Amino acid sequence: MKRIGLFLARRIAGGALTLVAIVTFTWIMYWSLAPQPGRFVYPFGIKVTPYQLHDGARRLGATRPKATQFFDWWWNVLHGDFGHQWSGATLNDNVLTTAPIGPTLYPDLRVTLSILIGGALLAVLISVPLGAISG
């Protein structure tokens, strides 16, 4: 029983490390593309000045140090807050309004998990009999 516990602990730790590595790599790739987050605040149809681009990025929090943004994002995710959508951000009366990501994510998460669990169950139901027949 102890060996199974150690095996499971290693697998869970490896999975968590892989998840952190994938998210970190994706985050680094996104920020290496030199985005202009200020464009999400000010529409594309108008001529945007450099001041407006910087102001939009500041309002979205993109001017903070990259390490601070990364660790703040992880802190919020671990507490169930996935942040706000940059697309669709509106600036009314000098107040930035953004929609939270969570309410749009949670319904899709249920569908994704049902597909994932159904696929895993189907794989087990097919592989166990085939393994027994081949054995």
What does the radius of gyration of the chain's CA atoms come to, in whole angstroms?
Answer: 22
Q: Which residue(s) pair with 91 in the sheet?
A: 96
Quote the pLDDT of residue 82: 79
Question: What is the arithmetic mean of pLDDT over 108-113?
Answer: 88
Which pair of tokens denotes residue 110? Answer: 């249920």
CB 28 within 8 A of CB 3: no
> Residue 89 has which token pair?
């951000």
Give the per-residue pLDDT at 44.
Answer: 64
**pLDDT at residue 12 in the model:** 95
| pLDDT tens track for 124-134 | 999 999 999 99
3-class secondary structure per residue, the chain: CHHHHHHHHHHHHHHHHHHHHHHHHHHHHHHHCCCCCHHHHCCCCCCCCHHHHHHHHHHHCCCCCHHHHHHHHHHHHHCCCCCECCCCCEEECCEEECCECHHHHHHHHHHHHHHHHHHHHHHHHHHHHHHHHHC
User: The dihedral of CA 47, 53, 56, 60: what is its sign?
Assistant: positive
pLDDT of residue 45: 60
Q: Give residue 54's pLDDT.
A: 84
In this predicted model, what pLDDT tens digit does every residue of 6-60 receive, in sequence order? 999 999 999 999 999 999 999 888 888 767 777 777 766 678 788 888 888 888 8
